[in-house]
Structure formats: C-alpha cells, structure tokens
Amino acid sequence: MKAIFLTKNKETCKKVYNDATVRELCALSELDKEVYDRTDVVAAPEKFADTEIIFSTWGMPIFTEEEIKTIFPSLKCIFYTAGTVQSFARPFINCGVKVFSAWAANAVPVAEMTVAQIILANKGYFLTNRIYHTDGRKAAAAAFAKCRGNYGETVGIIGAGMIGKLVIRMLKQYNLNVIVFDPFLPDEAADELGVEKRELKELFERAFVVSNHLANNEQTKGMLNYELFRLMRENAVFINTGRGAQVVEDDLVRVLGEREDLTALLDVTYPEPPVDDHPFYTLPNCMLTPHIAGSAGDEVSRMGEYMLDEYRAYLGNGRCRYEVSLKMLETMA
C-alpha cells in the first residue's frame, strides 16, 4: 500500500516514528519517508492521488470533505500517533476513511502522572510542602496530622473514558475507595472496575482528591463550578490533567481564595497558558504545570509502536483496537 507521513510538525513526526518503527512500516508498505504538510499536498494533489495510508501525529492538517475527495481519492486509513482526533477526523470518516488513534498509548503517561499526584495528595505532600515554606515545620506537621493517607481514603474520578479507566486500574494496587461520575459508564462496567458511581455533588463532598478526566465537548464546558468546589473536604485536592474548559476558572479562583486549605494541581487551563495577570500564577494553593502529562521525550515512541501494531492488525484482517467512530467522537476527549 502507498503510504505517507502527513503533519505540520515534521520534527515531532521523526521522534514519534523512530527509526525502528519506520523500518517496520517500510517492510509492510510502500512508504514515502518524506514528511509532508498541508501546503505540500494542496500544491501537488496529483502526487498523492494513489495514497492509501496516512501516518500522522500532532499537527495533522484539517481538510474539507471536498478536499479529501480531490487530493486523496484512494485513501483508506489514517493512523494518528497522538491523542484526540476531534479537530480533523469527521470529514475523513464521512468520506469512508478509517481513523485510528494512539489515544491509549497517550493515556499511559497521563494516568501515571495523575496517579502519582493522587498518592502524594493523600499523603498531604502538596499541603505540607506549602505550609513548611511559609509557616515552618511545626505548622506543616500539624496540617499533616489531619491527613488520612492512602489507606482507605476516597478518590473521585470525573469521567471514565480511556484515561479515567486507566487511572482507576492503576489505583487498584492501593487500598483506596474510588468513586466515579460518568453518566455514560454502564453499571456493569462500573462493577468490573470495582467503583461506585456517584453524582458530581456527592463526589466533591466525599473525595479527598478529585481528578478531572471529562471529555472536551460542548456539554462538559463549565461543568465544574463554585457550587461544587466549595463542597470539597478540608485540605482536599483538585487535579486537572484533562481539559481546562470544563472548569469555571473564576469560580475555582474564588474558592481557592476563600479556602487556603484546598490545593489545585492544574496541568491544563483554558486558555492555555492563562493570561499574564491571571490569579493562578499568584495563588499559593494553585500549582501550574505546562501541559506535561501527555507523552513526552522517549514516551512518544510508544504511540508510534501502538499504531504500527494497529497497522499490522489492519493488514492481517485482525482485530483493530483503536478505530474512532463518529459515535465515539460525541464523548471522546
């Protein structure tokens, strides 16, 4: 099959598809190892008329259905070595092109970071670190005395998609009580995960750590607001490694100002980064990281390997695990 690399992030593409993965792809297909972008294919559509497979990553160009039919009339599949495909997938799927995403591979480092933060939060790490620096060891130790630790503590997971489920499974090695808000999670799936389904209000009231993994869509924007944040337990922690738009940030700022005992760990905001004078930068109980939870460094190669395996399954008429449908796009991040 004729295959190409297509993305505006050409250097990233070379990291995601490392030398070993490219060698395997060349053995399986007629792969052009040049990395093309939108300008390249629009300028010479005749060159890509026989392209059947696209391998891409962050920076996949957006095309209309008309453009797809004109430039890629032979296209069968896109293998996307990154997470969300929301920005580009629909026109391709509407044209009969299969879209596969390495969201499962990208979920791994996000879940790892989230679980690490949950375990540290339950130990009072973020609270006591902050107090130690401002009020000294004695005050930090007094705050720590109110923390229950990880044995039997309650953790709230908002959204049980790919990442949320992986976080839950990783937490199984700890003796934690996990409660979940996800209206799309069937009862039998919750039973299989060993979690309790709860409404948002109860989740914020009961959990010591609340972690957001909601899909990013119109229905979830602004879902997490003042009325929920104000219900959080003493010294509780809110983690967001999902998307920033679900949080009414003015409301979170208000609660963090009213309750210095709370901590917010924000890897994502809306917009990203926050505007220059945003209170997130100066609130002592807000910790910002620059969207580092996803795949980075050598971790990105895992996504290339996932899509290589998916391509092998496709060629062998095997079970492809990561195809994205229009229905899935309704609830996916």
CATH of the domain at 281: 3.40.50.720
pLDDT at 331 (0 to 100):
74
Q: For 98, left (φ over 0), alpha (ψ -120 to 50), or beta?
A: beta
Closest CA to 123 of 144, 149, 156: 149
90 and 237 belong to one structural domain = no
For residue 218, the model assigns a pLDDT of 86
Domain of residue 92, residue span = 2-101+297-329
Instruction: Kindly provide the residue ranges of all beta strands, DSSP E only, lying in the chain, ordered along the sequence.
Output: 2-6, 30-36, 53-56, 77-80, 98-101, 154-158, 177-181, 196-197, 209-212, 237-240, 263-266, 286-288, 323-324
pTM of the model: 0.85
Q: Do residue 223 and residue 147 come from a single domain?
A: yes
Q: Return the pLDDT at 84.
A: 86
DSSP conformation letters of 224-287: B-HHHHTTPPTT-EEEE-S-GGGB-HHHHHHHHHH-TT-EEEES--SSSSPPTT-GGGT-TTEE
Q: 207 and 246: one domain?
A: yes
Active site residue 243: yes
Q: Are residues 171 and 153 in the same domain?
A: yes
Are the C-beta atoms of 56 and 81 separated by less than 8 Å?
yes
Instruction: Measure the CA–CA gap between 32 and 22, rounded to whole angstroms.
Output: 10
pLDDT on residue 216 = 84
Please confirm, yes or no, whether 46 is among the known catalytic residues: no
Predicted confidence at residue 128, as pLDDT, reads: 98
Q: Which of 211, 208, 257 is nearest to 236 (CA)?
A: 208
Annotated catalytic residue, options 291, 299, 312, 323: 291
Annotated catalytic residue, options 227, 272, 321, 330: 272
Q: Domain check: are 253 and 280 in the same one?
A: yes
* Number of domain units in the chain: 2
**Residue that the structure tokens 């294919």 belong to:** 41
Catalytic residue among 198, 206, 213, 243: 243
**Residue 59 class from Cβ within 10 Å (0-12 exposed, 13-18 middle, 19+ buried)?**
middle
Q: Is 272 a catalytic residue?
A: yes
115 and 67 in a common domain: no
244 and 301 both lie in a single domain: no
Exposed/middle/buried for residue 38 (C-beta within 10 Å: 0-12, 13-18, 19+):
middle
* Start-to-end C-alpha separation, the chain: 31
- The pLDDT assigned to 108 comes to 93
92: left (phi over 0), alpha (psi -120 to 50) or beta: alpha
Same structural domain, 136 and 250? yes
Claim to verify: residue 270 and residue 191 sit in the same structural domain: yes
Per-residue pLDDT of the chain (333 residues; tens, 9 = 90+): 999 999 999 999 999 999 999 999 999 999 999 999 999 999 999 999 999 999 999 999 999 999 999 999 999 999 999 988 999 999 999 999 999 999 889 889 999 999 999 999 999 999 999 999 999 999 999 999 999 999 999 999 999 998 999 999 999 999 999 999 999 999 999 999 999 999 999 999 999 999 999 988 888 999 999 999 999 999 999 999 999 999 999 999 999 999 999 999 999 999 999 999 999 999 999 999 999 999 889 999 999 999 999 999 999 988 899 999 999 888 777
